[in-house]
Structure 1
Amino acid sequence: MARSFIAELATSGHTVPVRACVYESNPPVWLFPSIGEYPLYDDFAYGQMLKDELRMSRYAEAVRRYAPGRTVLDIGTGQDAVWALAAARAGARHVWAVEVIPKSAQIAREAIEQAGFADRITVVEGLSTEIELADPVDMCVSEIIGTLGGSEGAGAVLRDARERLVKPGGVFIPHRSVTTAVALDLTSAAAGELPSFPLFTFRYVEQVFASVGRPFDLRVCLVGLQDDPQTQERSYVSDTAEVEPLEFNGELRPEGVDRAELTFTRRGRFHGLALGMRLWVAEGDEPLDSLVQPSSWTPVYAPLSEAGLPVRPGDRFEFQFTTAMSDDGVHPDYALTGKLRRDVGPAVPLRWSSAHHQHGFRSTPFYRSLFPET
């Protein structure tokens, strides 16, 4: 169980009320802000990535397969320079490790020097879209897949890398991603509780607000859905649809409109969508699936109905999913419009939008409940 209450966040010189929780036992599903888009990685976030055994093993296998004898670009190397070091150990001729966070770049340099690879790995501080290399490389490895496939800018960043920094026909790791969607019964997911922010997450919410310069309706992840098949069976009330395909080793189009349909498979209340991603790290691999596998990638909640709309097997949700580049040229803005079609009654129009640094705050019932005005 969790005890919920209203607390206060500190942001931009004033406070914002927020729905918070403290665990007592058997915590239900709870909220965590989607932070990789900004980026706000710290030791905790890096640690969660490194503990993700399936993610790490798939990347390690792909790097061992493709790095020997090649020049390599590692975009978003992080403070541990994990894949830059893995590529060098696998026999890469040289690695350029790009990192935009200055502190992480410095720690990465120290880790590389300590490992004895300072002569074969060059840390480049900055955005990959703004750097230049003397010669294009043979291979690019990156871990900039977001909670939604392209939310951290993978589409725009890797399209730029293909055009400027990687040789024609060069290898990209990962190989492909899609964003996934499943209808969610939030009452079942959270065991009757409204999901809330645990106290330790406050600093991340505050940092996301600070990075944009104001409070806004930030993307929130639902933590706990992946951990228990029974929770998934109780909470996911439809089949799964795929949108936002990103072909990193093909023609990469990060903007677009995808049409999809979900068919409800069990009775419940339709509150919104759990949005995740499937990632093929290398061609021929089985995909990683953040909706159903325990992972450091956690599903994003797209709220559509505060009370939840009753559904039963055979009902359908038809929707259009739009990905458009924000004004920073890197991070996408998302929008969804659709209709719930049931055997009885008219179709119900539903919509959701989530921009990278949108102006709206408390713009929907979900966010007015999450950040209540006192």
Structure 2
Amino acid sequence: MIGAVLERPTRLGTADVEAFIDAFFTERATRASSCGDDYLRLWDAARSSSTGGKRLRPELVLAAHAAYAERGAATQRGDAAAVQLAAAFELLHTAFLMHDDVIDHDLERRGAPNVTARFMREALARGVGEPRSREYGEAAAILAGDLLISSAHRIVAGLDAATEVRTALLDVLDECVLLTAAGELADVRQSTASPGPHEIVAMIEQKTAAYSFSGPLRAGALLGGAPAPSVASLGEVGRHLGVAFQLRDDVLGVFGSASLTGKTVTGDLREGKQTLLVAFAREHHGWGAVAGDFGRPDLDEEAAARLRTAIIASGALDRVETMIGERCAEAVAAIEAGGFPETLRDELVATAGRCVERVR
């Protein structure tokens, strides 16, 4: 399910979501045009930022919805609502990425200039100094992210669904924002400290698992009419999948291929990102010899290679790989015990496998 077609095609696909998102940005651009060229460029940058992703969250929404939705006279209405719900989660994801790039002072996302970089370059071209140009770019990215968070809520609030269902879905979306913000704050705090493995995993559950896996699965099932126990069980499955997914992401951020992941494999080491790899490596006596390189703004590939060697020698990479496998096994156990429809069960088991195997 991750970045690929579902094992068994659902009634709807991400192409339907893409069409909705495209129409959404077209409508927003039309409205923005009356507010000046700069504001129109902001929406154009937001549209560009929404392209090129794995569309993981929409896939999860659609798969969970299809597993429980009744086929009948209301099928077309239900399918349209599912597409809109899936798009709302993708817009929320795009917003979080924009804000995350500001927090991390990044200028690139998915191998291309992000919102900050676009507006920063425009200011530089006008002769504005670099510090002020960056401030302008980061302000634009914050505003773009805010607009998409608001839009996600607006889309869900307008779904053609029973009032109690819309209320429950808005509660899920609100919880995703609440937990992700808590996780982001914890992540920033951890960059100024030396967090232990338990703290890092707790942060991942909030920052990534809540809105990337648990939220979409629960929301899709709620819209499809799933019973409350099934919705709760999907939330637990999503928690395990989210941790496994992020741990694999952290491994790829240091040991992956830039041509496949679309991001540098020295960025996390240069930034001094406190991942589980680093937490485990710090426990080893050999880390002290390279600790001075970790978090260096001018980190080069030679120093990064020394850090990678130290991480491997400490056993940290093996320990994280083991944890990824364990989390996926816990997810599979929860899937098997969840009593989900067969198609959804098979798709979730396949997703767990991809959390272990993915290379991008």
- Structure number with the higher strand fraction is 1
TM-score, normalised by the number of residues in structure 1: 0.25
TM-score, normalised by the number of residues in structure 2: 0.25
- Structure number with the higher helix fraction is 2
